[in-house]
Amino acid sequence: MGLRQIDESTNQKLRESAEAIGGDAVAPVVDGSRYATGSYFPDWPDDADKPTTINPRSDELTFHAVDKAANDAKSIAERFEQLMAGSPDAKLLTFDESIAYALEHAEEYLLAQESYLITAIRLLIEEHRWTPLPTNVSSASIIADGNDGRFSSALNLLNATAVSQQLPFGGDVSAAFVVDATQQLDNAIDDDQQSADIVLEATFPLQRGFGDVALEPLIQSRRNLVYAARNFETFRRDFYFELATNYLGLVLQLQQIANAERQVERSQDVENRTKALVSAGRTEPFQADLAIQNTLFALDRLSGLQESYRLQLDRFKVRIGLPQDAVVRIDPVLFAFPVPVTDLRKSIELAFRYRLDLQNLADEADDFARRVDVARNALLGDLTLSIINTLPTDPNRNQGGMRFSAGDDFLTATLSYSAPLDRVREDLQLRQAQILLEQSKRQLQQTRDEAAVEVRAAVRRLDRAQFSLAVQERNVAAANNRQAAIDAAPDRATARDRTEAVDALRRAQDQLASAKREIQEAILGAQLATGQLRVAPDGRMIPPPGMHVVEEQGSKLIDRSK
């Protein structure tokens, strides 16, 4: 079997395992071109055992300080503005495009895929052990012998071709064809010989190793592939949720930056107006200093937000596998999923029924129960029945050829028993298996309890997010009314009143944006916690009936479910 056939068999196993668990599960596809080919006879460099380390001394390093003139607040702010402006050719990166790219290039996604692939390959290895296994061994040897002062030598050639098969209830059977030929190398001696044998052999355990325990390695390998399929699907759902959280975080930061930019503009307007009032003698000079301070604080906050956004964008690019030098800009679009009706009791029941990680733990407890039975079986003695039948060529002929002599075959049947005098290791393994079984049961119960807590937290988070959104909408309305009242009667407000109103409006807008993000994360989190989140092969979420995928673009809502 070549590597191409192995890849095809692996892909078939992956497809079957994904189809077996249902729920729109996705199976990866093996791409053999991605892996190193290796070498039959590698020629490694002489220093392969001495990897080079780059670690210069401190006096070999360099450090250049920034000029003081280039380090003032104004120049730093200008640099931040240039960085945030970015390239006009920056590619717009939507969330769907981010997910699709991550499924092809993200390191953690590729690692999860390969863990799944390795489990499928392990199953193929185990299944291969239960197929007829052919072998062919050829050997050549020179036999030298001294006899009455005369030294003679002979060439012996032996070829054995055999097929063996493990039996599902224990033991194995095999059939071998053995050819043995000896040719004298001394011309004075003419005693060349050739014979052939057909050997049929079977071994049956009747106590230890008999029955279903013989199939345990194959059973476990097949179950492991089901677990791997569930784990991979669980990873895909977690990965989608985490990337959605990261992306919504970037959108929130963009909104906060926009709010901060508006705050800077309003603060500068307050500063200019206050300076004009001071020049006209209509207010005290310290009011201008107060307005100047507020502008500087707003600038500092804006630069901090901009740098934080750049850092989070770089981390997001790394996570989805984008090159660090890729120039992209985030599409500032928020999801607008409808808020589901939640029932705590029903949500916990759904989690217990649908969550794949809980199903894995429950099935793994069954695995440990079988291991107890396997360990108990290992305490028995070895009662083995061996049957060997040999059909030779005519033993009376030096050159037997292929003429087998049925009358000269011989059958040997052996029944052997090995008493279990020393089973200390097996006793220890049994006790270990029993303890592991109890641990698995407790782990299952603990994980179910933790899942119930997680579901309760998700439901409470959703309720809290709805309340927070309603509060922050009223908060923004109040802040806008306060700002409008000051704008309507500017002479009645001091610089402090104006700056406080500007700060309050910015905080209210930030908190409203955060509340919108929180409620969308809470909706996705509730779907994930209850095992109801589904992700398509291209990375898009598959909404259940009644859940419309909507995007909020400014004041518009766009239904993407259609």
Distance CA 232, CA 227 (A): 9
What pLDDT is stored for residue 551 in this prediction?
62
CATH number, position 267: 1.20.1600.10
384 pLDDT more than 90: yes
* pLDDT, tens digit, 9 for 90 and up, residues 324-354: 888 999 988 877 788 888 899 999 999 999 9
The answer as to whether 332 is a domain residue is yes
- Which residue from 541, 15, 529 is spatially nearest to 236, judged by alpha carbons? 541
- Is residue 309 within 8 A of residue 329, CB to CB? The reply is no
459 pLDDT more than 90: yes
Distance CA 561, CA 542 (A): 9
What pLDDT is stored for residue 322 in this prediction?
93
The answer as to whether 62 is a domain residue is no
- 75-84, 364-373, 381-390, 437-446: the lowest-pLDDT one: 75-84
- Is residue 402 within 8 A of residue 393, CB to CB? The reply is yes
What pLDDT is stored for residue 523 in this prediction?
93
- Average pLDDT over every residue of 273-282: 83
531 lies in the same domain as 554: yes
What pLDDT is stored for residue 555 in this prediction?
46
The chain-wide mean pLDDT, for the chain, equals 88
- Which residue from 449, 457, 452, 453 is spatially nearest to 349, judged by alpha carbons? 452
- Cα–Cα distances in angstroms (integers) from residue 326 to residues 92, 222, 321, 323, in the given order: 11, 43, 10, 5
Q: Pick 241 or 48 by higher pLDDT.
A: 241
- Which residue from 133, 217, 119 is spatially nearest to 168, judged by alpha carbons? 217
188 lies in the same domain as 257: no
* pLDDT, tens digit, 9 for 90 and up, residues 112-151: 999 999 999 999 999 999 999 999 999 999 887 766 555 5
Overall number of domains in the chain: 2
- Average pLDDT over every residue of 264-289: 85
Using CA of residue 487, residue 493, residue 494, residue 499, what is the dihedral sign?
Answer: negative
268 lies in the same domain as 289: yes
pLDDT confidence band for 409 (50 / 70 / 90)? confident
Tell me the residue range of the domain where 512 lies: 20-25+74-124+221-359+444-559
Most confident of 187-191, 375-379, 484-488: 375-379
Assign 380 to helix, strand or coil: coil
The answer as to whether 187 is a domain residue is yes
pLDDT confidence band for 189 (50 / 70 / 90)? low
Question: Residue 538 forms beta bridges with which residues?
Answer: none
The answer as to whether 370 is a domain residue is no
250 lies in the same domain as 275: yes
1 pLDDT more than 80: no
What's the burial of 191, exposed, middle or buried (CB within 10 Å: 0-12/13-18/19+)? exposed
Angle formed by the axes of helices 344-354 and 424-488, nearest 10°: 140
How many other C-beta atoms lie within 10 A of the C-beta of residue 296? 15
The answer as to whether 249 is a domain residue is yes
266 lies in the same domain as 411: no
The answer as to whether 40 is a domain residue is no
What pLDDT is stored for residue 391 in this prediction?
92
* pLDDT, tens digit, 9 for 90 and up, residues 221-252: 999 999 999 999 999 999 999 999 999 999 99
265 lies in the same domain as 395: no
Please report, rounded to a whole number, the percentage of residues in the chain having pLDDT higher than 70: 91
Amino acid at 55: N
398 lies in the same domain as 300: no
334 lies in the same domain as 392: no
The answer as to whether 483 is a domain residue is yes
Assign 167 to helix, strand or coil: coil
**Chain center to CA of 154:** 61
372-396 core/surface letters (b: 16 or more CB in 10 A; e: else): bebbebbebeebbeeeeebbbbeee
- 186-195, 256-265, 296-305: the lowest-pLDDT one: 186-195
What pLDDT is stored for residue 273 in this prediction?
85
pLDDT confidence band for 182 (50 / 70 / 90)? confident
What pLDDT is stored for residue 404 in this prediction?
82
481 lies in the same domain as 522: yes
498 lies in the same domain as 533: yes
The answer as to whether 204 is a domain residue is yes
115 lies in the same domain as 227: yes
- Read off φ and ψ for residue 412, nearest 5 degrees: -125, 125
487 lies in the same domain as 550: yes
